[in-house]
């Protein structure tokens, strides 16, 4: 298929008016009501471009709406009634979108998860949601679920692929579903704003995922408020790289397509080439994408001749001074939001003096960076975690606007987002319209003054209805006044910018947006005889890290057999500590640090042989966990000699680790570990 896509700006109904369109959408009740309007408004503009799908596909807005209707008609013919749940276990593609909106258009509720998730988790979701139908990515996904599917588990099964099966008509392929839908007209559905639209399962602290109930009101709030941040025009190129079953990528996709963009599906392995082939103006993203692109650019810089490297670094150093001065002048320095008149004056003078050098750097260096990313970028909204400051600085210098947002699956998901005119780095932005934020004391729930750190609560039309069939979890998350407990710690500035400072709950969000529940992994790791206690860290990092309290007695016993025959290894031996020290120095000359709670030399923890032992232990225990995922891997670790206890304030009275306290106490060690 040709790479040419129709992104003309002349729309079917004549002159395009974003304000008129937004007014139409504001009057709607449910998400599926958008697509006939979009088909009429944008007609022959390419809506979805899926160049890496087999076969590659392009659909105009007219064709997209036609296939959504056919899929919806098929769902109705297969017995899907309003409110019925249909599990959709698949990943990012044009067919996913058709299935997603086809199920909703039929009045159904889709229950979404990645096809790559653990089969036991998928079966749990299927059963817990009481789904009457099942749509999966392909035959391989079905085959891994088949042994766990009971008799008559669902009324029908469909594939998003064209693969034929040996099971006759029991499983429908994607073309067969569309053909089935073409044989009958779509029965009209009367939607209600509080009608359940989708269930998105998110991990719980017990390890069992919880079904987040999002209604049409929740989703429509996002679509009707995003215009404050993004203003796409018909035919604008958009790259879709986030999982569409994840609430952030999914909701942004709904909004952008409702405004007539041309969306191209890509993936990490294709994104650099696709940025050149289909240069985007807008992209929804997570920090890991920008980290990956940054690392690739830095690699190219390092491959330049030494003299050119020095010139590039000199420009970046000067531009770093320029953007820092500009932030103060614009009152957008998160460390100094209320600078004095003198500070602003000095900063303006510095930025004026540095501006010509920054402009020179732009012509020589930064424009080439933008060109490598397609050259047409206007803005990207980044969610799923905060950006590291060096990443923020880099993209500000090269002239790419990254607007960081914040939210949760339970909030549809966006609560706050930076605005183009107030891009306060290190913040999560200001609340969307109709969204209330409150900072309270985590213990007393008393409202705290502006600028004081506490627990973030939120209230607004985007807050979920609750957890599916889990009233206890719902009551714990949402109080009687409708305030949702985000589990995050933060503060509000006088300008209502939210600055997140940590997580009160345990979930760790990596820079790729993946949520990790640490407790099950920690429970697996302490099975090792050499690990006494362990706490996982890694918020906004590329991979997990760990602070480990080693079991020194077990570690000493591991070493003793290696010394047998050379010294007295009896428990009463007085020469054992010195012998251990000498042995480790022989085995690993770089190991010199001897640690022990009593200050006596026993085991050199930062020696290579000990590091290798613990790495092997972590790999084995993590990999032996049921349902292990690639992101469960522990990339780095450090040793903490003092055990966590009630006495040192690191354990609660019920002997639970106080995660925020541990993280704060060992902040320098954690920062060094990930540096």
Residue 651 DSSP class: B
The upper half-sphere exposure of residue 598, i.e. CA atoms within 13 Å in the direction of its Cβ, equals 7
Tell me the pLDDT band of 5, cut-offs 50, 70 and 90. Answer: low
Q: How far apart are CA 114 and CA 397, in angstroms?
A: 36
Tell me the pLDDT band of 203, cut-offs 50, 70 and 90. Answer: low
Residue 320 burial by Cβ neighbours in a 10 Å radius (0-12, 13-18, 19+): middle
Q: Region 221-248: what's the mean pLDDT?
A: 92
User: Quick one: what percent of the chain has pLDDT higher than 90?
Assistant: 66
Tell me the pLDDT band of 601, cut-offs 50, 70 and 90. Answer: very low
Q: How far apart are CA 350 and CA 344, in angstroms?
A: 10
User: What pLDDT shows up at residue 169?
Assistant: 61
| pLDDT for 10 beyond 50 | no
> Biggest alpha carbon distance in the chain?
93
User: What pLDDT shows up at residue 151?
Assistant: 80
244-253, 420-429, 509-518: least confidently modelled range: 509-518
Q: Region 445-464: what's the mean pLDDT?
A: 96
**Helix ranges, 278-305 (H):** 287-302
Closest to 460 measured CA to CA, from 434, 438, 486: 434
Tell me the pLDDT band of 491, cut-offs 50, 70 and 90. Answer: very high
Which two three-digit tokens encode residue 311? 């010139």
Which two three-digit tokens encode residue 257? 């397509």
Q: Region 145-157: what's the mean pLDDT?
A: 91
Cβ neighbours, 10 Å, residue 593: 13
Which two three-digit tokens encode residue 463? 């807050």
Which tens digit of pLDDT belongs to each residue from 643-670? 888 778 887 544 568 888 899 999 999 9
Tell me the pLDDT band of 509, cut-offs 50, 70 and 90. Answer: confident
Identify the CATH number of the domain defined by range 517-674. Answer: 3.30.300.30
Among 3.40.140.10, 3.40.50.12780, 3.40.640.10, 3.10.20.30, name the CATH number for the domain at 26-220.
3.40.50.12780
Which two three-digit tokens encode residue 348? 């303006």
Residue 444 burial by Cβ neighbours in a 10 Å radius (0-12, 13-18, 19+): exposed
Tell me the pLDDT band of 467, cut-offs 50, 70 and 90. Answer: very high
User: What pLDDT shows up at residue 123?
Assistant: 96
Which two three-digit tokens encode residue 356? 């010509």
Residue recorded with tokens 């300008």: 495
- Using alpha carbons, list the distances in angstroms from residue 415 to 63, 222, 383: 33, 9, 11
| pLDDT for 152 beyond 90 | no
82-96, 466-480, 515-529, 572-586: least confidently modelled range: 572-586
Q: Region 466-495: what's the mean pLDDT?
A: 95
Going from N- to C-terminal start, the domains of the chain cover 26-220, 286-398, 402-509, 517-674
| pLDDT for 623 beyond 80 | yes
Which tens digit of pLDDT belongs to each residue from 71-130? 999 999 999 999 999 999 999 999 999 999 999 999 999 999 999 888 999 999 999 999
What average pLDDT does the structure give for the chain?
88
Q: Region 198-221: what's the mean pLDDT?
A: 85
Q: How far apart are CA 133 and CA 76, in angstroms?
A: 11
Class of domain 402-509: mainly beta
Share in percent of the chain as helix, strand, coil (round to 5): 40, 20, 40
| pLDDT for 317 beyond 60 | yes
Q: How far apart are CA 583 and CA 486, in angstroms?
A: 51
Which tens digit of pLDDT belongs to each residue from 554-600? 777 776 665 554 444 444 444 445 555 454 444 443 333 333 444 44
58-72, 250-264, 369-383, 656-670: least confidently modelled range: 656-670
1-15, 57-71, 610-624: least confidently modelled range: 1-15
Q: Which residues pair with 534 in a beta bridge?
A: 548
């Amino acid at each position: 298929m040709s790479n040419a896509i129709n992104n003309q700006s002349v729309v079917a109904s004549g002159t395009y008016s974003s304000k008129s369109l937004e007014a139409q959408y504001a009057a709607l009740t449910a998400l599926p009501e958008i697509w006939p309007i979009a088909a009429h408004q944008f007609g022959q503009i390419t809506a979805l471009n899926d160049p890496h799908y087999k076969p590659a596909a392009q659909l105009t807005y007219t064709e997209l709406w036609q296939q959504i209707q056919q899929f919806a008609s098929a769902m109705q013919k297969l017995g899907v009634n309003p409110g019925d749940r249909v599990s959709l276990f698949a990943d990012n593609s044009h067919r996913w979108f058709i299935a997603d909106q086809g199920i909703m258009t039929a009045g159904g509720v889709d229950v979404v998860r990645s096809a790559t998730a653990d089969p036991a988790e998928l079966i749990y979701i299927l059963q817990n949601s009481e789904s009457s139908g099942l749509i999966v990515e392909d035959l391989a996904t079905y085959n891994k679920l088949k042994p766990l599917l009971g008799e008559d588990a669902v009324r029908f099964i469909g594939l998003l692929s064209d693969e034929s099966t040996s099971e006759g008509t029991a499983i429908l392929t994607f073309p067969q579903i569309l053909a089935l839908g073409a044989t009958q007209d779509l029965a009209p559905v009367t939607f209600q704003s509080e009608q359940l639209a989708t269930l998105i399962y998110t991990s719980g602290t017990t390890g069992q995922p919880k079904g987040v109930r999002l209604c049409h009101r929740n989703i429509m709030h996002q679509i009707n408020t995003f215009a404050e941040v993004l203003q796409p025009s018909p035919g604008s190129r958009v790259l879709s790289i986030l999982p569409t079953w994840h609430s952030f990528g999914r909701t942004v996709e709904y909004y952008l397509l409702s405004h007539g963009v041309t969306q191209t599906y890509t993936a990490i392995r294709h994104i650099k080439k696709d940025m050149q082939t289909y240069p985007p103006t807008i992209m929804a993203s997570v920090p890991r994408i920008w980290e990956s692109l940054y690392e690739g650019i830095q690699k190219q810089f390092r491959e330049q001749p030494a003299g050119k490297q020095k010139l590039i670094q000199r420009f970046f150093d000067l531009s770093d001074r320029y953007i820092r001065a500009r932030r103060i002048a614009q009152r957008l320095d998160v460390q100094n939001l209320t600078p004095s008149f003198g500070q602003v004056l000095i900063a303006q003078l510095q930025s004026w003096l540095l501006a010509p050098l920054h402009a020179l750097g732009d012509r020589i260096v930064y424009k080439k960076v933008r060109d490598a990313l397609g050259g047409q970028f206007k803005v990207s909204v980044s969610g799923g975690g905060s950006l590291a400051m060096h990443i923020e600085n880099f993209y500000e210098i090269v002239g790419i606007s990254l607007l960081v947002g914040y939210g949760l699956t339970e909030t549809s998901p966006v609560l706050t987002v930076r605005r183009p005119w107030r891009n306060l780095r290190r913040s999560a932005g200001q609340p969307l319209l109709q969204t209330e934020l409150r900072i309270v004391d985590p213990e007393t729930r008393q409202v705290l003054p502006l600028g004081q750190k506490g627990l973030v609560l939120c209230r607004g039309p985007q807050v979920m209805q609750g957890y599916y069939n889990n009233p206890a979890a719902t009551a714990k998350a949402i109080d009687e006044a409708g305030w949702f407990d985000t589990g995050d710690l933060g503060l509000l500035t006088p300008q209502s910018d939210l600055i997140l400072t940590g997580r009160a709950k345990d979930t760790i969000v990596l820079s790729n947006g993946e949520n990790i529940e640490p407790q099950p992994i920690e429970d697996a790791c302490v099975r090792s005889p050499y690990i006494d206690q362990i706490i996982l860290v890694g918020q906004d990092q590329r991979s997990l890290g760990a602070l480990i309290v080693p079991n020194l007695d077990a570690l000493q016993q591991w070493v003793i057999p290696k010394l047998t025959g050379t010294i007295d290894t009896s428990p009463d031996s007085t020469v054992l500590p010195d012998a251990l020290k000498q042995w480790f120095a022989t085995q690993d000359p770089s190991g010199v640090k001897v640690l022990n709670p009593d200050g006596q030399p026993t085991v050199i923890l930062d020696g290579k042989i000990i590091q290798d032992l613990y790495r092997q232990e972590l790999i084995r225990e993590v990999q032996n966990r049921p349902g292990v995922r690639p992101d469960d891997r522990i990339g780095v670790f450090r040793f903490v000699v003092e055990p966590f206890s009630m006495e040192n304030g690191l354990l609660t009275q019920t002997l639970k680790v106080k995660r925020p306290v541990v993280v704060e106490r060992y902040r320098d060690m954690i920062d060094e570990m990930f540096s």
